[in-house]
Structure 1
Amino acid sequence: MRILSRRTARTLAPSVLVAVLAAAGVQAAAQSADAAPKRAAAIKACTTAHMKVTVSPVTRPVNHLLLKATNTGTKPCYAYGAPYLRAGADAQAAVGWDEDSVPQSVVTVKPGRSAYAGITTSTPDGVGGYKAKTLGVFFANRALDGSVGPEKTLKLPHHGVYFNSAATVTYWQSSIENALY
């Protein structure tokens, strides 16, 4: 009789253990689901609708401007790529992006915080040129193949700034130093 009970105990023990662990797992999963936080809303692309955008001259480097975008909204947003810029009301093409300035990750702009982009207005290597009095700014979409939101038109300092074919803008950066490298 003893042999039978030992065999029964050996045979039943693993199945009982599995049942106990399964019940504990179900209970733990139910507790985890109850304790899990609500899914946060997805972060969207920054747009001029909730960003205060300014442009200002800098002393160094020469022929540069600083573009600053401050989040005035209540939620963070992503500043994808670089801003699309239109230098002057009659600009025929957007200012090119400085491919040497790609950051390691997309810049997240929290409420009250800013993203920065450096604008090279002209270089001795550039050709042509004109004096622009305004700067049109658009934010890029996630795919970097278009813009999101309406254009923000800014007045350029000193009653206008000289631009030539070498004009570029950096990708959005989280610091002024990186924007004006």
Structure 2
Amino acid sequence: MLTIEEMNQIRQNYGISYEEIQKGCEDVSISSIQKIFGGYVDKPRRATIEKLSRYFETFIKENIIPVYENGKLASDNRYVAEQSNYFTKGSSAVDITQNKEDGPTGLLGEIFTQRGYTYSDYAKLELPEGVRVEVVDGYLYKMDAPNIVHQDIAGYIFNLFFTYIRSNKGKCRAIMSPVDVRLE
């Protein structure tokens, strides 16, 4: 039987989401999975750990093929996580789960919910250079860099709003995208 730490390491290494784990362990709730791997449960039920361990052992047997280099075992990953333009909490496509200062979840004790990411989660992300994401309805959406057509349209719309606001002596301002905006 695998330990929680071993299962969590496999989960992070191969980008396995909580949702994928839950599909493989149908009678274990996603909230239980999130709490166990988030470090919020001191003593999870043995039956739950056994079910999770079986899932990960099966995952390893079906997806990981050992490769030898110079007579030594080297890791090989034949498992490829589904390509997606959005990442739900539990996905390690954008890895925010290991923050040395904040503990195992990197979220200062915040419990993951079915709803997904919050603005405070977004504010704590440490993304690689050039990677942009936005939080929309609890999901993180990967945002590609705007192209010329996008900038042309955004400039036109900006100009319409700016002209309207100025001609009507409005007290608000038009701001051209991309810019961080918080909608609640």
Which TM-score tier does this pair reach, normalised by the shorter chain?
under 0.3
User: More helix per residue: 1 or 2?
Assistant: 2
* TM superposition score normalised by structure 1: 0.22
Higher alpha-carbon Rg: 1
* TM superposition score normalised by structure 2: 0.21
> Taking CA–CA contacts closer than 8 Å with sequence separation of 6 or more, which of the two structures ends up with the larger relative contact order?
1
User: More strand per residue: 1 or 2?
Assistant: 1
